[in-house]
Each structure stands twice: as C-alpha cells, then as structure tokens.
Amino acid sequence: MSIENKYRSNSLRNAPLEYAPKNEIGVVFLFAHIAKKLQLRIEEIRPQFPDCIAYKKVGDREKEVRIEFEFKSSNFKSHKHNPNDCDMIVCWHHDWHDSPDKIEIVELKRYFGVHTKVWIQPVIKSQWNYLDVNDEMDWGLSKRTTVGDLLLMYRCYPEKKISDIYFLKGDLNRGKAGWREGNSNFGIIKKICHLYSPIFLDDMRNHKVIKTSSFIRKNLQGNHLVSEYWSYLYAMIVERNPKVKKILKEYAPDKM
C-alpha cells in the first residue's frame, strides 16, 4: 500500500496543546496542566523509573504517588517496568486491558475532549480469514475514526454477525484501496477479544431500541458510528460472553 499523506492528530478542546500528543513528552506537558485537578503535589520529575514522585492528600496526611509517563499504557509492560514500584500510569491512550488493578491509569484524552467512539465495521466474506489469523493488521476505516476507537467487526452475508472486537492502534494514513478504485484511509487495528457467542443481525433487529437505529435500517452496509447505542450493544455482548467483561472494562459505557 502506498501512502500519500498522513492525517493530522485530533484537535483538542480546553487544552494548552493544539493537537493530540504523539509521544511521551506531550503526555508530560498535558499532565502538568491537570496535576492540580488530580489533587497531586509534584515533588520531582526525573529521568529514571518511575518518572515522577508526587504526593496526594489523604485525610490529614500525604501519601506518596509514584508515577510513570507513557504514550500508551501498554508501553509500561513492553518496557518491563516492575508494577510493584509504581502507583499510577499517566498516558494519552489506555490500551493495556489486563493492567494490574493496583495501578491507577490516568488516560489524558478523557480530560481534553477526545472520547472513544464505537463503530460497526463491515467485513466481507473474502476478508474473514484476516480476522481469524491476525490479531493486528492494516484496515480500511472511516476518516473520522481516531486512535483508541472501538471497532465491532461485522461479518457480512451469509453469517451476519459481530464476533470480533478490535481497536484503532495508530493514526490514519491515506493510500490506494485494494478492493476498489481510488484511495481510502488505513490504520493499524488490534484485536481485543473474540466473541464465542456472537451478536447476530437478527438480535439487533429484535432489540427494542437498536432496531430503530439508522444502521439497522441501512442493513449494516458501510461503516457506522454506533456510540449512542453502545450501552445496549455492550449489555448484549457481556450477557452472552461473561468472560469478556473484564477485558472490556475500559470500554464499559460508564467509562466512555
């Protein structure tokens, strides 16, 4: 795939930075502007792990908070840091779905007007094999898709079901589409989980709320932004697949 140009990151709201950060330095910069909101008093920023030593008032005393800055929370694991030596990860995007419960994750995008969106992404039969063998791959997406967005991969006719959930790992690129003439938008997507009990099109057609949606009226043709229906879709998913509830904890409707 040839890349013609790269899209600019999301513009931010109520932020000292015009666009979403692309590295750890941007994370540190934005953190400085919300530390007080988090009730943290910063004592030291340093080059060694953990990156920051802060204190938080608890009753009439102060508790030490050891903080590590990462662009993505999963970098903490890939950098092989010891979770026992850290109390908080401050990141732009939280993608470490099995992070230790003892570590608090502060995802900065939630403070600056960038929210995770949920999409239903159609997958034609000739592409199903990619879902079966690839946990991470390049995929054509809507130009409105942004880093961290949730992708409900819908296997079109004849199966007509959602059985895999991915998220957009990096910024979009522009390049030639392999399945039609012209260009499209591409991004690296990564699998979060497989649904052993899928959500079928008929399930959505029979749901008292989801059946009224425009994407059901359009028979799920094309990419569909379904964020406003996520609470209903999420309830159906975890009811049928209880084991994925923990995996999807960061995408629970009350956290979106």
* Overall average pLDDT of the 155-175 stretch: 90
Token pair, residue 196, equals: 């052993």
Write down the pLDDT at residue 91.
95
pLDDT value of residue 8: 52
**Contact status, residue 19 vs residue 12, Cβ threshold 8 Å:** yes
Give the pLDDT score at 4: 38
Phi, psi of 240 (to 5 degrees): -85, -25
Residues in the chain: 256
Using 50, 70 and 90 to split pLDDT, how confident is the model at 234? very high
User: What mean pLDDT do residues 40-55 have?
Assistant: 96
| Higher local confidence (pLDDT), 34 or 96 | 34
* 184 DSSP β-pair partners: 175
Token pair 């004849």 is at which residue?
158
Average pLDDT over residues 150-165: 97
Q: Which residue from 138, 122, 232 is spatially nearest to 187, judged by alpha carbons?
A: 138
The overall average pLDDT reported for the chain is 89
Residue 2 has what pLDDT?
35
pLDDT, position 5: 42
The pLDDT-based confidence of 177 (bands split at 50, 70, 90) is low
pLDDT at 19: 80
Higher pLDDT pick, 58 / 183: 58
Please give the C-alpha separations between residue 127 and each of 3, 134, 154, 159, 175, in angstroms, as whole numbers: 21, 11, 11, 13, 19
Least confident of 51-55, 94-98, 186-190, 235-239: 94-98
The pLDDT of 27-37, averaged and rounded, is 95
Secondary structure (H, E, C), 124-175: CHHHHHHHHHCCEEEEEECCCCCCCCEEEEEECCCCCEEEEEEEECCCCEEE
CA distances for 134 relative to 3, 120, 161, 171, angstroms:
22, 18, 18, 19
At residue 236, the 3 state secondary structure works out as helix
pLDDT (tens digit per residue) in 63-98: 999 999 999 899 999 999 999 999 999 999 888 878
Residue 199 has pLDDT above 50, yes or no: yes
Both tokens of 125, joined, read 């039969």
**Architecture of the structural domain at 118-255:** Roll (3.10)
Higher pLDDT, 18 or 225: 225
Residue 171 pLDDT > 80? no
Which tokens is 168 given?
Answer: 């957009």
pLDDT at 118: 95
| Position 248 confidence tier, pLDDT thresholds 50, 70, 90 | very high
pLDDT at 1 over 70: no
Of the listed ranges 61-65, 130-134, 142-146, 209-213, the least confidently predicted one is 142-146
